[in-house]
Amino acid sequence: MSRTRRILAEHAGLDEAAPGAFLEVPVDLVLANDVTAPLAIQEFGRLGRETVFDPARVVLVLDHFTPNRDVASAEQCAGVRRFALEHGIERFYDCGEVGIEHVLLPEEGLVRPGDVIIGADSHTCTYGALGAFATGMGSTDVGAAMGTGETWIKVPEAIEVLLTGRPRRWVGGKDVILHLIGALGVDGATYRSLEFTGEGVSALSVEGRLTIANMVIEAGAKNGIFPVDGQAVDFLASVGVDAVAAPVEPDRFGYSGEMTVDLSALEPQVALPSLPENAVAVGEAPTVRLDQVVIGSCTNGRMEDLRSAAEVLKGNRAAPGLRLIVIPGSARVYRQALDEGLFDVFLDAGAVISPPTCGPCLGGHMGVLAAGEKALSTTNRNFVGRMGHRDSEVYLSNPAVAAASAVTGSITDPGEIV
């Protein structure tokens, strides 16, 4: 069996979990945010339960339209706060404790290898970077799991993604996943598990793996999962999780398909409008005048990302007329970036530094695009109208490419700046 199938079989109390089988499994963590929690709470209420299945394993994060952009978002957040207080939710993140949920949960030590984690957000698959089975679901399913502590899963087939070689400078997790989505297409892995293997895994940082797992949904995958090696164990230990290397190993022939990615051959990638599958090497990107660059999100809002951007921006300034927005992914990242002097670099470059929020990624606030505007962003989606007006355009890249492009005003290889 694949790693995913082993985790699901173990949770279901079975010796085997065949692809296509429907299982009822207990969940280790249930997640919702300010956009998806209100409907989940409504559905939870229909169960007639007095309280949630475990106040320590339901996580509520107010991160999408916060700080509240309008009265409607304020009312949504107020309702989630009332629910959290009424049910004694121990993992409720608001105000100064809040962060972008998929940055926040790993650093809070809430993700463990072998866990089953579901969330009312499609990028819940992020946690597969740490050896968990993690997937997004609709608010109705999440509301039911909040009450019962269980969910149903159709066991996915698995595609092995064999990673070889070592990435060159300015190439990271974002480039790996954009290249992979470009090869698969946005539906090439529909309801399959992307399982990453090979000696190239060790050449990727844990933060890079989180970025890759975050975006497997953009190829249609049910989840993505990495082996738990020494780097992952060290990361988990740093956030208070005691883990051992490779607790869930796959059978060698547990896959329905396979792909190989040579990390040493990759160049920085850019996804052209208006799908993540439109990936090209940065040198092949068209010359367009950019109106806005966003560095942050659940995909690229971690310390590694901000350090990479700062390395390119140091001593440089954003191009005249270009709006540069930097969003640390959590309060912890915010403080560390401040302590390391990265904020000085960003401010000297003319950037606006935002509190942790998903705002611009989904066209919510803190960076909405007008008609005809073009943005380069380190977020995960560039669908039509994703970041604002339907007549705007969004390009996707890693933080170094975004920083270099902010300086020149058009899509630029960071090697041309540094």
For residue 400, pLDDT beyond 70 = yes
Q: Dump the DSSP string for 355-417.
A: PS--GGGGTSSSSPBPTT-EEEESSS---TTTTB-TT-EEEE--HHHHHHHHHHSS---GGGT
For residue 200, pLDDT beyond 90 = yes
- Global pTM? 0.97
pLDDT of amino acid 74 = 97
For residue 246, pLDDT beyond 90 = no
The mean pLDDT of 126-154, rounded to a whole number, is 98
pLDDT of amino acid 255 = 85
pLDDT of amino acid 248 = 61
For residue 377, pLDDT beyond 90 = yes
The mean pLDDT of 243-253, rounded to a whole number, is 69
For residue 391, pLDDT beyond 90 = yes
The mean pLDDT of 14-33, rounded to a whole number, is 97
- Compute the mean pLDDT over every residue in the chain, rounded to the nearest whole number: 96
The mean pLDDT of 224-231, rounded to a whole number, is 96
Q: Is beta strand 269-271 parallel, antiparallel or unpaired with respect to 279-281?
A: antiparallel
Residue 184: alpha-carbon gap to chain centroid: 19
Cα–Cα distance list, 151 to 29, 272, 286, 299 (Å): 11, 37, 45, 26
- How far is it, in rounded angstroms, from Cα 374 to Cα 371? 9
pLDDT in tens, 81-113: 999 999 999 999 999 999 999 999 999 999 999
pLDDT in tens, 261-299: 999 999 999 999 999 999 999 999 999 999 999 999 999
Domains located in the chain, CATH noted: 3-264 (3.30.499.10), 270-416 (3.30.499.10)
The mean pLDDT of 303-330, rounded to a whole number, is 98
**Helix 331-339 with 303-313: angle, nearest 10 deg:** 40
Confidence of residue 177 (pLDDT cuts 50, 70, 90): very high
pLDDT of amino acid 256 = 87
**93, 50 in Cβ contact below 8 A?**
no
pLDDT in tens, 34-72: 999 999 999 999 999 999 999 999 999 999 999 999 999
Phi and psi at 393, nearest 5°, equal: -130, 145
pLDDT of amino acid 133 = 98
Strand, coil or helix: 194:
strand
